[in-house]
Chains A and B, each alone.
Chain A
């Protein structure tokens, strides 16, 4: 007789998934997020061995008197509807067409750890979920993503995203989890290792702090420990203070946070934002994972916030800036955060800092504004700044028309480049390409005027 009891069903409609995931605020957020992505079916993989949790288990939970399970539950999500009978038959017959349809409709997975927080909610482990769509009417979303391969009972699946997980007070809170997520693009680009949360905390606390205990780690990491952690991976750390100086060349039209986010996400570098809850001594760390823009104007920033969920949307404040943002918890309490600093782990050869190149960028930006008001450049012409590497930039050049192209694309250039681009509604007009491995923003490699006719 077929087993149809709800407990034994491993494939079920997404509409009932909230019963399985739990009732915590993060679960509610994830459920709504997946609903936005049109999830239809959920597949439960029991006794899943999650590497990150297994290391946390072996280093921390296995030595507790209380018994903890060493395996997890993994839930996969799909945009198509299918049932258990069809799925089992496909496994039996190696139905490649069905497997292909699973890949096309795959939204990723959530790992549920066998650990509960103080409120009795099961903790969310490694979560690998698709991003919001790239296009939304005239807006474009840009995310920090890499391809993640998933094996579901031998069926190859993949999803482009950045992993997320919830804080676990035993092995690491916000800053640890933020570093854990930041490791993925860094590994992809620079070959740095991926550590589990407990290992991230272990590494970071080798830099002493004023707190007494390292584990349980609810005392949190400090900025000096974050710096130490990335430095120990042979990476440099760049800090950006978003507050202008009294004699700053910035105007009300400039938003340093939006500019920095665009500049680094272009190359695929993670950006850690440190926040202060206004009016308190509470500090929080989140990872900036993407942004949404209309013709270059940043409308939203997306963050992995371990207290909320992945790709949480941040809107600009009343002044149109991202220097402070508001968040409402599920209990309705509103918190206002002030963005204190951005921390970007960078490859040591990226020597030209954002601060130095930003001043040069502002000079070009002011110049473009004058040329727009005089009618030399058409309305809507803007200036943007971004970091890239020679491979990506040459790939871009190959798609464009400009003078001496066949010579320029063959010329040697620095591995990392800062580009100051003048464009009209995304169409590039002129690129000033600076040597990103230089110390000062005074070495131009190329000055390219594009032929858009």
Chain B
């Protein structure tokens, strides 16, 4: 089936994007997400009292 204009454009954009955001970067993104979103249990229970 013939590709639509949008599909062709997206494919080209995705190819260029993948050249910058390589699998290594995606792996690092996962690690950064884990680091940023982790809250130590003791911090979860400290009350904001001010």
Contacts and interface: CB of A to CB of B under 8 A. Distances in A.
Interface of A: 173-175, 209-211, 218-224, 227, 238-241, 245, 248-249, 274, 277, 281-285, 307, 340-341, 353-360, 363-364, 367, 404, 407-408, 411, 432, 440-447
A359 B29 contact: yes
4 smallest beta-carbon distances between A and B, as pairs: A355-B33, A359-B29, A447-B13, A355-B36
A444 B35 CA distance: 24
Given A407-B6, A442-B21, A447-B16, A219 B30 contact: no
Interface in B1-50: 5-6, 9-10, 12-14, 16-18, 20-21, 25-26, 28-39, 43-50
Nearest to A178: B48
11 contacts: A221-B47, A223-B45, A238-B37, A241-B38, A277-B50, A359-B28, A360-B21, A363-B25, A408-B9, A411-B6, A442-B26
A283 B46 CA distance: 7
A241 B35 contact: yes
A354 B35 CA distance: 12
Contacts of A447: 12-13, 16-17
Contacts of A283: 46-50
A363 B32 contact: no
Contacts of A359: 25, 28-29, 32-33
Contacts of A277: 50
B35 A240 contact: no
A222 B48 contact: yes
Contacts of A210: 45
A209 B5 CA distance: 56
A285 B20 CA distance: 38
A284 B29 contact: no
Contacts of B35: 241, 245, 355
A241 B36 contact: yes
Contacts, number: 130
B26 A284 contact: no
A240 B37 contact: yes
Given A241-B37, A364-B20, A222 B28 contact: no
A222 B46 contact: yes
Nearest to B47: A220
A281 B18 CA distance: 46
B5 A407 contact: yes
A223 B32 contact: no
Given A174-B49, A283-B50, A360-B25, 13 more contacts: A174-B48, A209-B47, A221-B47, A240-B37, A241-B36, A241-B39, A355-B29, A355-B34, A355-B36, A357-B29, A440-B26, A444-B14, A447-B16
Contacts of A357: 29
Contacts of B34: 355
A224 B45 contact: yes
A236 to B, nearest CB: 11
A441 B21 contact: yes
Given A209-B45, A210-B45, A284 B50 contact: yes
Contacts of A222: 44-48
A352 to B, nearest CB: 10
Nearest to B13: A447
Contacts of B13: 444, 446-447
Given A239-B39, A356-B33, A411-B6, A441 B48 contact: no
A441 B27 CA distance: 10
Given A356-B29, A367-B20, A240 B46 contact: no
A174 B50 contact: yes
A219 B29 contact: no
Nearest to A340: B43
A282 B33 CA distance: 27
Nearest to A243: B35
Contacts of B47: 209, 211, 219-222, 283
Which residue, B9, B36, B46, has most C-beta atoms of chain A within 10 A?
A: B36
A249 to B, nearest CB: 7
Which residue, B10, B12, B16, has most C-beta atoms of chain A within 10 A?
A: B10
Contact of A363 (B5, B21, B33): B21
B24 to A, nearest CB: 10
